[in-house]
């Protein structure tokens, strides 16, 4: 599934995956940057709390965005697939400057939103310039290939990652979250072994990748981002490994970037400022 086609002379919106547990009170650098990217206090932001099972998740983010100066922040309670046909929700997305998807369980996002008019609207509006951010589960859901679950650990194995279709805002990246805190390098490597055309992004908590139109990214936040580039992968044993066995991957390239770091998808070059 390719991202929706952009309209001539129209820049795509940013894609902003966040590793979860973003700072919300003392120095909310990521959320401040998201608000600024969307146009500041006059921006219209839609909040999608579908991934969360907690009733107050959406309202808490709505209050938070209002504290950050946003005048028009609204929760879209998309609990069922029927809700994703709501004319009211679709109209708000149609006029939104940004969408924020909360954390929780990414399978709740994919099974509720996947293939619905809301998912189609998110893809189309992002192609038209609307910015889409997601934290934790919301981040994992963004690309074409979504890590739906898996196991902790450093060495990849065939059963370490479970994959499912994501929203499809980009097909250049596979994203994992809470990365260093939950020791998830093995499952991201496993996902890349199944899909070696993609770049892996491992997001630490309170860390975001602001992916510009054209898929160049900048790191914002207090942690790091692990970039795994399989472009020159020369050997993979994924095809012969059994469940639980380690997988050999040779000639991967790995970068660790912190705030201000950049990665260019076209050249596969990393920079740290």
Q: Cα–Cα distance between 63 and 161 in angstroms, integer?
A: 35
Could you say which of 52, 144, 178, 236 is catalytic? 178
DSSP 3-state helix, strand, coil percentages of the chain (rounded to 5)? Answer: 25, 30, 45
| Helix 29-38, helix 57-67: angle, nearest 10 | 80
> Is residue 178 annotated as a catalytic residue, yes or no?
yes
Which residues have C-beta within 8 Å of that of residue 183, sequence separation ≥ 6?
Answer: 152, 153, 154
* Alpha carbons 103 and 163: distance in angstroms, whole number: 18
Catalytic-labelled residue, pool 22, 144, 205, 218: 205
Please answer whether residues 219 and 183 qualify as being in contact, where contact means their C-beta atoms are separated by less than 8 angstroms. no
The residue count of the chain comes to 273
Task: Tell me the Ramachandran region of residue 206: left when phi exceeds 0, alpha when psi lies from -120 to 50, beta otherwise.
Answer: left
**Among 136, 157, 218, 236, the one annotated catalytic:** 136
* Angstrom distance (rounded) from CA 108 to CA 120: 17
Distance, CA of 86 to CA of 15 (rounded, Å): 24
For the question of residue 52 being annotated catalytic, the response is: no
Catalytic residue numbers read 136, 178, 205
């Amino acid at each position: 599934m390719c991202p929706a086609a952009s309209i001539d002379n129209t820049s795509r919106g940013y894609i902003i995956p966040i590793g979860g547990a973003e700072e919300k009170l003392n120095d909310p650098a990521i959320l401040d940057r998201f608000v600024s990217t969307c146009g500041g206090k006059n921006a219209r932001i839609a909040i999608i709390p579908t991934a969360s099972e907690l009733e107050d998740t959406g309202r808490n983010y709505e209050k938070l965005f209002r504290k950050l100066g946003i005048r028009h922040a609204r929760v879209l309670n998309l609990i069922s697939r029927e809700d994703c046909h709501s004319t009211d929700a679709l109209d708000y997305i149609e006029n939104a400057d940004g969408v924020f998807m909360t954390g929780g369980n990414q399978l709740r996002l994919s099974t509720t939103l996947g293939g619905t008019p809301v998912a189609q609207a998110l893809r189309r509006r992002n192609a038209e310039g609307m910015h889409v951010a997601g934290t934790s589960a919301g981040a994992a859901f963004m690309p074409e290939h979504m890590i739906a679950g898996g196991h902790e650990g450093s060495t990849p194995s065939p059963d370490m990652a479970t994959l499912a279709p994501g929203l499809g805002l980009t097909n250049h990246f596979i994203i994992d979250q809470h990365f260093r805190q939950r020791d998830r390098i093995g499952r991201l490597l496993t996902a890349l072994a199944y899909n070696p055309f993609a770049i892996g992004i491992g997001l630490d908590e309170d860390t975001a990748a602001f992916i510009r139109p054209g898929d160049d990214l900048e790191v914002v936040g207090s942690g790091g981002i692990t970039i795994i580039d399989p472009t020159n992968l020369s050997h993979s044993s994924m095809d012969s490994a059994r469940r639980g066995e380690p997988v050999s991957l040779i000639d991967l390239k790995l970068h660790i970037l912190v705030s201000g770091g950049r990665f260019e998808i076209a050249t596969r070059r990393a920079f740290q400022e």
